[in-house]
Amino acid sequence: MGENKRRMLAGDWYVSDDPELGADTERRIALCGAYNAPGATTSAERAGILKQLLGAVGEGVRIRPPFHCDFGYHIRIGAGTFVNFGAVFLDAAPVTIGADVQIGPYVQLLTPQHELDTERRRAGWEKGEPVAIGDNVWLGGGVIVCPGVTIGANTVVGAGAVVTRDLPAGVLAVGNPARVIRTLDGDEDRAAAVSGER
């Protein structure tokens, strides 16, 4: 394994235009192409492709095509999780999705961070920050989860929300940027504390 890929896997700054990472990208393109081909594969064949593409796939995971990712091998998905059409998981860093998660159409889980310095950005420097989604989370359609975010178990994120910071377990969050509007256990005082209103 080359130094550049080692840096990426360690969460350090790396150059994205790299032959070794390019080979990983070609592998992903081929596997995603086979997975997304209309009518070309059965459910069993798609399950086999996911096992080749992703780092770990739990029992009963269903991902509706089209599905897109950066590398695939950084993605771990727990049992019983459902991912709807058009998901984009950019996995320059680990993307960990728990069990029984519901992911709406066109959800984006984004780990890459790009340089603010114009010269370094032009040279292709980036790094990844992990995204983690807890068990039994529901992400509504079009949700975007930004680099470095963790969403706690049993949380619901409303459609179109942009999650820029961690969300605790058991809350409802909406908006851009996403903010907690209530707990899902009815504890309004806790919801107010979590959202910063108290």
Q: Which residues contact 173 (CB under 8 A, 6 or more apart)?
A: 155, 156, 157, 158, 161, 163, 167, 179, 180, 181
Active site residue 74: no
Q: How far apart are CA 56 and CA 4, in angstroms?
A: 24
CA-based radius of gyration for the chain: 17
Show the tokens assigned to 180. Answer: 């907690």
Whether residue 163 contacts residue 169, with contact meaning beta carbons closer than 8 Å, is answered with no
DSSP code per residue over 137-171 = -EE-TT-EE-TT-EE-TT-EE-TT-EE-S-B-TTE
Catalytic residue among 6, 51, 114, 121: 114
Residues with catalytic function: 114
